[in-house]
Amino acid sequence: MKSVLKVLPLILFTAIPASAQDPELRREAVQLLERANGVSLSPKLPNLERVDTFRVFDSSSGPQEGTFTRVVVQGTGRREESRFGEYHSLDIWAGGRLATVRSSELPPAEINTVMRLTPIYLLRFADDDVIHAIVDKAAVGKKIRCIEFDTIRGQKIENNELCVDHSNGTLVLEKVGDELIENSEFFSFAGELVPAKITYSFAGVRKLEISQAMTELTDASENVLAAPPEAQIRNFCKTYRRAIGTSMPQPKAGKGGRNIDVAIRGIISTDGKVHEAVVQSAEHPDLGAEALALVQQWVFTPAVCDGNPNTQEATFILHFHGR
């Protein structure tokens, strides 16, 4: 399964041959998913403002609310602002440079998830996805068509499901691995259908609710993209090389029956070490803590921007075997 933006995390299991699927069934599944992508991609976006308000459900601290806004002036630049808890960031891309004000370099995992899911998380089938069935169901008074399939990478397999609205073709449910994304209350904007409500669950637990609105800017002032006086100005690299790992110890194998992936995010600094590391996703908190401790031991040759060492934000996937 390929995402328009990223590849989703995988669960380990046993593989089945790709030849086990019906070619006609695959053709229909691909057609359904391509239509879902098509109805939610505008042929031409105007100047716009998008506002996402979200609520994060955390059993330890209770629900917390945050916001993410994006203003786009086509052909000129864009402005993004995020607020969640003590975190605040303002990024303005214009004139070939970035003006930024940030309370910390690395955004919280929750902000990262909101940006990934909005305005809508779209997918495409990969060559090694195996389609098993397309079934009709009913949900919230609507008829939906659901594609049941497996995503396979070597010996890794996920039992997944994608569902589209029978009437307008929109992607209303995405179950991929441990993630469940539900899109609802679609509205029309610039020739595309966009969900006004998005709910996100991980490993059967609801984590996030997003309310989304988009409006056209008919009179976009240049002040929208003006950098505040306290902003740090960053120029884009003309030449760039990513960080290269030199020491990346992995978790020790256990004797259990499950294989689990944990995602960690952090900043690879100019000293070659990982700083500000946080758990992005972990099915079990203890594995998240173990993965976090391991990543903080990793060593890299730092990224290079225009011949000079540079920091790099990165996501690190650790594979726990038999845990």
Please check whether residues 156 and 246 belong to one and the same domain. Answer: no
What predicted TM-score, i.e. pTM, was given to this entire model? 0.86
Alpha carbons 119 and 208: distance in angstroms, whole number = 15
Per-residue pLDDT of the chain (323 residues; tens, 9 = 90+): 654 433 333 322 323 344 457 899 999 999 999 999 999 999 999 999 999 999 999 767 789 999 999 999 999 999 999 999 999 999 999 999 999 999 999 999 999 999 999 999 999 999 889 999 999 999 877 899 999 999 987 667 889 999 999 999 999 999 999 999 999 999 999 999 999 999 999 989 999 999 999 999 988 776 889 999 999 999 999 999 999 999 999 999 888 778 888 999 999 999 999 999 999 988 888 999 999 999 999 999 999 999 999 999 999 999 998 88
Q: Cα Rg for the chain, rounded, in angstroms?
A: 21
**173 and 232 fall within a common domain:** yes
Q: Final residue of a domain: which of 236, 263, 296?
A: 236
Same domain membership, residue 271 and residue 230: no
Backbone phi and psi for residue 20, each to the nearest 5 degrees, phi listed first: -75, -5
Q: Do 210 and 119 belong together in one domain?
A: yes
Please indicate, yes or no, whether residues 11 and 58 belong to a single structural domain of this protein: yes
Q: Do 228 and 268 have their domain in common?
A: no
Choosing from 236, 258, 280, the residue where a domain stops is 236
The one-letter amino acid at 17: P
Are 53 and 71 within one domain? yes
User: Which domain covers residue 267, as residue numbers?
Assistant: 240-320
| Alpha carbon separation from 3 to 33, 47, 73, 123, 268 (Å, rounded) | 12, 26, 26, 4, 25
- Residue where a domain terminates, one of 220, 236, 252: 236
Shared domain for 129 and 260, answered yes or no, is: no
**Cα gap 179→8, rounded to integer Å:** 9
CATH number at residue 287: 3.30.2420
162 and 246 co-located in one domain: no
Round to whole Å and give the CA distance between 278 and 314. Answer: 11
Structure tokens at 180: 């469940």
Residues 172 and 89 in one domain: yes
Number of domains in the chain: 2
pLDDT confidence of residue 254: 87
* Closest to 110 in 3D by CA, of 10, 3, 207: 207
Residues 160 and 212 occupy one common structural domain: yes
Same domain, 306 and 162: no
What pLDDT is stored for residue 256 in this prediction? Answer: 79
Element (H, E) at 264: strand 260-268
CATH number, domain of 154, equals 2.50.20
